[in-house]
Amino acid sequence: MLFFKLIRSIRQLSTQVLAIFLGVMLTASSVLVLPSQAEPAPETIVSQVSQKPAAATAAIGKHSFVADAVNRVGNSVVRIDTEKTVTRPVDPFMDDPFFRRFFGEGFPQQSPTEQLRGLGSGFILDKSGIILTNAHVVDQADRVSVRLKDGRTYKGQVRGIDEVTDLAVVKINAGNDLPVAPLGSSDDVEVGDWAIAVGNPLGFDNTVTLGIVSTLKRSSAQVGISDKRLDFIQTDAAINPGNSGGPLLNAEGEVIGINTAIRADAMGIGFAIPINKAKAIAVQLQRDGKVAHPYLGVQMVTLTPELARQNNTDPNSSFEIPEVNGALVMRVVLNSPAAIAGIHRGDVIVQIDNQQITSAGQLQRVVEDSRLGQILQVKVQRGNRTQELSIRTAELKDIS
């Protein structure tokens, strides 16, 4: 019994000590309140408490930069459907009179024509209905149909096509207040920037994919389409058939490129035409319906001293190549400016107008930036000799 009484005494003492301690704490806290600080009104407290959940809700509900970018440009992206009639050869056996008599006149006849349907994308450049897309989307089409995001469909009229840059302009008559895509500058794009592709891949309308800019100035020869004159923006944003002609956006929702090419032997690699190049071409297409490109008339590859040495040490090589950096001429087009000036197969173009040439792509850009009829001073390395030739550019024609 004495033990239990002792325990109760200790508990009572602890309670008293705790009460005294709390009293001291309360007294100390009241001393810390300065006389000039008034206790906040109840409504102020309620307001302060309610602000935190509102801020948290706003943070959770905020759109991503991708959604903001797509919302800015989305209504200006269009779907382009095409139809064209192609003639195909008819098997003579099917039209043989004996064959027809044997199988009867009820045997189905083979049609000499076929309707081919195509699908692509584009975006509105002007409120009046000017649309920019790829040339290969609408080239040789008998019918072009343009569908807006809101479902309205219009007949499209092809105003101009440039196969060299794979660009085309289409016009629709849909009033003068259409949504217009904001254009950025491809000169400001850097490797690692966000890249957002918008279009209608495989017929799935209004599809958005996200990636980055993988590299810049990827030449058309490297992409595998040497008949074009382009330096592409390379991206890992998913691009599929049907995306062609659609916009490639930056993080602000501005068009920096036109999705145009994919590699069948690779995944996660797509290519877009820089918008600055496209803007210049679009102006000419609207005005003239075509674009005149200067050319020299040579087919070439990039040459380095290492590649030249590999060729020169090969006993099966047909000729020796100068071991220099430049553009090696593989073919000279008959009656072309280069042929008239005296360029030969095996020559290495090392300089144009005092500008060093180190690659085939660089030579192509220099010629593309020149004027029709301009005389270019070209320095070539031919064997151990260096020659300077004057070449007058002419308009690019079909050189296949």
Distance, in Å, from the CA atom of 185 to the CA atom of 188, rounded to the nearest integer, reads 6
Compute how many other C-beta atoms are within 10 angstroms of the C-beta atom of residue 398. 6
pLDDT per residue over 154-194, tens digit each?
999 999 999 999 999 999 999 888 999 999 999 999 999 99
Hey, which residues does 388 pair with through a beta bridge?
379
pLDDT of the residue at 320: 87
Question: Is the pTM here over 0.85, yes or no?
Answer: no
Rounded CA gap, 375 and 29, in Å?
Answer: 92
Tens of pLDDT, residue by residue over 88-100, are 776 666 666 666 6
Window from 47-56, 74-83, 164-173, 261-270 with minimum mean pLDDT:
47-56
Integer Cα distance of 40 and 1 in angstroms:
54
Most confident option among 2-16, 25-39, 263-277, 377-391: 377-391
Catalytic sites, residue numbers: 136, 166, 244
Evaluate if residue 127 carries a pLDDT over 60: yes
In the prediction, which pLDDT does 39 show?
Answer: 41
What gap in Å lies between CA 238 and CA 251, rounded to an integer? 16
**Could you give the domains of the chain?**
71-171 (2.40.10.10), 186-288 (2.40.10.10), 294-395 (2.30.42.10)
